């Protein structure tokens, strides 16, 4: 069903809550991505507790932060039209879940600093709230894809 054909509309509270959620999600992504893009070596050192000196790995790491930066813009798009851009939320949510799982694996393997716990917990919270968003829009008859 097209977003314009949904059975009901989101409540005023839901509109405010989910718009705020996706604005905060965008800021979360930008907060990590901007330092990762502008000083990848320092961000890597903070996250992993070791130096990043190989120029190829700096470029790869910076590229990963570029992806996070783009997701931030995607979340801004969702905040603008909550029922039209569910695919962006699905991609962003899966990305956050996979990143959190991978970072947890690296943390448990002793490859990251304790800073990783903050990132993991933040992304897990977003994944849970994105699931709540999907439950709400599904009840309205809006197709997730």
pLDDT mean values, one per 10 residues, the chain (145 residues): 57 95 98 94 90 92 95 97 95 96 96 92 97 94 84
Residue 85 structural domain: 9-139
* pTM attached to this predicted model: 0.88
Q: Are 128 and 97 in contact (CB under 8 A)?
A: no
The pLDDT value recorded for residue 1 is 45
99 within some domain: yes
1 within some domain: no
144 within some domain: no
Total of domains in the chain: 1
36 within some domain: yes
72 within some domain: yes
100 within some domain: yes
Going 104 to 73 to 82 to 5, the CA torsion angle's sign is: negative
Report the C-alpha gap between 59 and 12 in whole angstroms.
44
4 within some domain: no
The pLDDT value recorded for residue 6 is 52
The pLDDT value recorded for residue 10 is 87
3 within some domain: no
């Amino acid at each position: 069903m097209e977003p314009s054909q949904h059975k009901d509309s989101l409540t005023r509270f839901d509109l405010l809550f989910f718009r705020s959620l996706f604005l905060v999600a965008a800021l979360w992504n930008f907060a990590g991505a901007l330092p990762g893009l502008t000083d990848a070596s320092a961000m890597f050192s903070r996250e992993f507790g070791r130096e990043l000196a190989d120029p190829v790995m700096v470029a790869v790491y910076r590229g990963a932060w570029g992806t996070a930066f783009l997701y931030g813009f995607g979340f801004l798009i969702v905040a603008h039209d909550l029922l039209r851009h569910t695919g962006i939320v699905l991609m962003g949510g899966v990305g956050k879940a996979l990143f959190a799982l991978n970072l947890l694996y690296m943390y448990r393997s002793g490859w990251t600093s304790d800073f990783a716990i903050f990132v993991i917990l933040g992304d897990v919270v977003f994944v849970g709230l994105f699931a709540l968003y999907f439950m709400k829009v599904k009840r309205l008859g809006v197709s997730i894809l």
